[in-house]
């Protein structure tokens, strides 16, 4: 689906703004000692306030129970899809919490994630977070109309792996969205290593495309691990991870990051 009608563009912009507002309100309360259930309730109240519905709760994917939380809350080695029902002690100083918020608002989706250090961070966590944010910045700048989707992956991967020595986890990526949370194309974060690994790699960025792009980066591995039918996805080696996701509208003049204001969020909260 390509977005051209001004009224639809406005709705997509408004939905993305709701996601940013929800993050902004959340960082006010994040601190050591909070439980994931309290964080999820806070997200639920904010969404209500902003006249949004969670795009995640109840979400169904074959092989999993319906998604149980309003937001994805992923701590440390949990990369994405953490839930408030997974075994996880209350937030402790130095934890890295990735919060992914998906909303439905005026018929459109907003879907963006950011990572927060709780109460302070080690130098390694700071480098990993800086790497994540910069990879998103550079990757979004590469989303130029007429260029192949591969340009996103090449830019992000070169920076994260070659320049910084961290790892993009394989098998997960970004996606088109709009009136539904997930739509084609899939947006891989790394260049395919064999033909056919990413069929859409040669497809081109096109004005009107609405894309959620999301580097997921681990300190020690490209491999992921999960348990049975459970939602949370972890780094295979238990190393620290971050997740930064933006909503991008491709315009004739270049990429427009609808969640650009996320870059103004604090890295360290509750200190």
Contact positions vs ligand MF3 (CB under 6 A):
56, 59, 67, 72, 81, 100, 102, 111, 175, 181, 212, 245
DSSP SS3 for 265: coil
Using alpha carbons, select from 77, 116, 129 the residue that is nearest to residue 234.
77
**Token pair of 32, please?**
């050591």
**Can residue 172 be called a binding residue for Co ion (CB under 5 A)?**
no
CB of 163 to ligand MF3, least distance (A): 25
Pure H helices in 28-159? 36-49, 123-141, 150-157
67, interface contact from ligand MF3, Co ion, none, CB < 5-8 Å by kind: ligand MF3
**Token pair of 3, please?**
């977005």
**Can residue 187 be called a binding residue for Co ion (CB under 5 A)?**
no
DSSP state letter for 90: S
- The Cα 97–Cα 139 span in angstroms is 22
Identity of the residue, 81 or 133, whose beta carbon is nearer to ligand MF3 in the bound complex: 81
CB of 137 to Co ion, least distance (A): 18
- Contact 224/189 with Cβ under 8 angstroms? no
Place of tokens 């700071």: 126
Identity of the residue, 95 or 111, whose beta carbon is nearer to Co ion in the bound complex: 111
Residue 110-139 contact track with Co ion, rule CB under 5 A, x = bound: -x----------------------------
CA atoms within 13 A on the CB side of 218: 24
CB of 82 to ligand MF3, least distance (A): 10
Identity of the residue, 55 or 121, whose beta carbon is nearer to ligand MF3 in the bound complex: 55
Binding site for Co ion (CB under 5 A): 111, 212
């Amino acid at each position: 689906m390509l977005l051209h009608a001004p009224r639809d563009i406005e709705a997509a912009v408004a939905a993305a703004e709701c996601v940013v507002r929800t993050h902004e309100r959340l960082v006010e309360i994040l601190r050591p000692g909070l439980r994931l259930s309290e964080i999820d309730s806070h997200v639920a109240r904010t969404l209500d306030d902003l006249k949004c519905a969670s795009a995640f709760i109840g979400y169904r994917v074959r092989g999993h129970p319906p998604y149980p939380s309003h937001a994805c809350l992923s701590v440390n080695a949990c990369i994405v899809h953490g839930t408030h029902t997974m075994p996880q002690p209350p937030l402790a100083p130095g934890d890295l919490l990735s919060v992914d918020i998906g909303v439905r608002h005026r018929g459109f989706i907003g879907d963006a994630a950011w990572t927060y250090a709780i109460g302070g961070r080690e130098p390694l966590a700071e480098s990993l977070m800086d790497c994540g944010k910069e990879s998103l910045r550079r990757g979004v700048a590469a989303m130029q109309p007429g260029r192949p989707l591969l340009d996103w992956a090449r830019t992000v991967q070169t920076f994260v792996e070659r320049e910084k020595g961290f790892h993009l986890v394989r098998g997960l990526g970004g996606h088109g969205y709009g009136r539904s949370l997930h739509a084609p194309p899939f947006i891989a974060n790394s260049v395919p290593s064999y033909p056919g690994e990413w069929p859409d790699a040669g497809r081109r960025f096109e004005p009107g495309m609405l894309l959620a792009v999301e580097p997921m980066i681990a300190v020690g591995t490209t491999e992921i691990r999960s348990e049975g039918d459970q939602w949370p996805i972890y780094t295979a080696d238990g190393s620290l991870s971050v997740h930064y996701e933006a909503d991008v509208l491709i315009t004739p003049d270049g990429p427009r990051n609808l969640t650009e204001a996320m870059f103004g969020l604090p890295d360290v909260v509750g200190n």
